[in-house]
Amino acid sequence: MYIDTHTKESMEASICNLLNMNSLELHEQLMLLDKSSKDEDDFSNNLDLFIVEKVTMYPDEILLFHLARRLRGAEDEIEGRNLADLLLSENQFSKFMKENGVAFSKGDQHIDVTYKGKIVDWDRCWSGNAGYMKLRLGYYKGREDFCFNGFLLKDLLYKNNYARELSGIPEFLGQLIECLQCKSVGWKYMDNSDYYCYEYKLPMAVVMFDDHDQYSDSLKKRYLLRCVLQRLHQYQVTSLKYMYDHDNPVLRLADDYTIPSKYYVGREKITSEMLRDW
């Protein structure tokens, strides 16, 4: 069982079904909790108490919405690959990079990058952010950052500043291009790719909330419900034109986890109009 986080209406329907109440009753409960709260922190605490009191069956699955610019021909690669898997396996992206002089290989506790036949020495890289590249390539043991991530809520996702930033060159590729001074690779990538939102429905146990990555499964379930109730309450008290997506919880997976294709739900191609029409 999961909470449908696609739209305001689907969230409301899921929550009402979970709480065995109609939408009017839900609205009244949220307004009462708001009026009895001193501030936002108190409101969050009151929501937690409300959830513990009212919910008897918790969701055991969760939707994750992943934003990605994909090369044409790679859109059907529906596994959610972590960065290490993406760079070190045979796929459209690694093939494209190799065709443009950049190859990746497993080094000593990290991923080596070869450019035009020479292994890149990041400590002698004077352009771009070499520190970022070393972090993403696993040079700092215990601080690896290979994880596949996404967002919990879809309803306002295209109003998210990060969603707009990701419509351009992917962050990892952008920094790599800056460091290697190979901007033509970026232009070629943009010319041959499209922007998508990929959707997965995952077991709660494999997902972490980025801001609460130590939460147990039971805490994650309650936190999920709190986040959805907070978003529904925002719709009650804020005009849609003034609502943004800065508080959309980020979800991530373990650094070595690749999402199996069985958890794939679907994808949506994102156009520039969809990002502007708010």
Angle at 194 between CA 73 and CA 201, to 5 degrees: 80
pLDDT at 263 over 90: yes
The CA-atom distances, in angstroms, between 213 and each of 40, 79, 142 are 22, 23, 15
**AA identity, residue 143:** R
pLDDT at 276 over 80: no
Cα radius of gyration (the chain): 21
pLDDT at 95 over 70: yes
Distance CA 111, CA 172 (A): 13
* pLDDT attached to residue 211: 87
* pLDDT attached to residue 277: 60
pLDDT at 24 over 70: yes
* pLDDT attached to residue 146: 95
Distance CA 253, CA 236 (A): 32
pTM of the shown model: 0.95
Please enumerate in sequence order all residues whose Cβ is within 8 A of that of 49, keeping only pairs 6 or more positions apart, or say none.
none
**Percentage of the chain modeled with pLDDT above 70:** 99
Which string of DSSP letters, residue by residue, matches 14-25?
HHHHHHT--HHH
- The string of pLDDT tens digits covering residues 123-137 is 998 888 999 999 999
Which of 172, 165, 207, 200 shows the shortest CA–CA distance to 186? 172
* pLDDT attached to residue 144: 86
How does the average pLDDT of the chain come out, rounded?
A: 94
> Which pair of tokens denotes residue 157?
């996702």
Distance CA 231, CA 171 (A): 28
Distance CA 44, CA 226 (A): 7
* pLDDT attached to residue 208: 97
- The string of pLDDT tens digits covering residues 142-153 is 888 999 999 999
- The string of pLDDT tens digits covering residues 153-200 is 999 999 999 999 899 999 999 999 999 999 999 999 999 999 999 999
Q: Cβ(155)–Cβ(7) under 8 Å?
A: yes
Distance CA 266, CA 278 (A): 24
* pLDDT attached to residue 278: 58
